[in-house]
Amino acid sequence: MATPEDFDMDATLRMLDAASGNYPPGSKEETAIQLSAIALLYIRHIKKLDDFFKYQQEFSEASPEVRVAQTFATREDADRWLASGNASDGDLVRIAGQGFQVLRLPTGVRFLRTPLPAELGPAGSK
């Protein structure tokens, strides 16, 4: 994981720009990558990059005791639960062994792929 000392914003933005070029303009993938770049620029603009790295460090060191709200065998089961209205913004769930977070957006409730600590391996490993 990057640290404030070794993070190169310009190189990262170039990588994101190159990655977005692998997808058609206006596609979900291209839009997601562009929004990621804008988010980084915004964090720098509001002078919160150090706070972001503190959060990243906390996230990286999260213990395996992270509370998983629900576990589902299939994505279909998870989608039914999401549609039921029982999900809360920020809930962490496990779907077929992978972590996701519930996001409440203006367009509806969605899952965002969020690896759980167990998926990331032992703390400090790279």
Asked whether residue 108 is domain-assigned, the answer is: yes
Query: pLDDT tens, 4-29?
Result: 778 899 999 999 999 999 999 999 99
Alpha carbon distance 1, 87 (integer Å): 30
80 and 55 in a common domain: no
78 and 55 in a common domain: no
Query: pLDDT tens, 69-105?
Result: 999 999 999 999 999 999 999 999 999 999 999 999 8
103 and 74 in a common domain: yes
106 and 75 in a common domain: yes
Q: What is the CATH number of the domain that holds 104?
A: 3.40.1620
- First-residue to last-residue Cα distance in the chain: 8
- Host domain of residue 84: 70-117
Alpha carbon distance 27, 85 (integer Å): 28
51 and 13 in a common domain: yes
Query: pLDDT tens, 24-43?
Result: 999 999 999 999 999 999 99
Asked whether residue 87 is domain-assigned, the answer is: yes
74 and 49 in a common domain: no
CA dihedral 92, 112, 6, 13 (to 10 degrees): -170
Task: Label the pairing between strands 108-113 and 70-72.
Answer: unpaired
Asked whether residue 122 is domain-assigned, the answer is: no
**H-assigned helices in 5-124:** 9-20, 28-45, 49-60, 75-83, 117-120
Q: How many structural domains is the chain composed of? A: 2
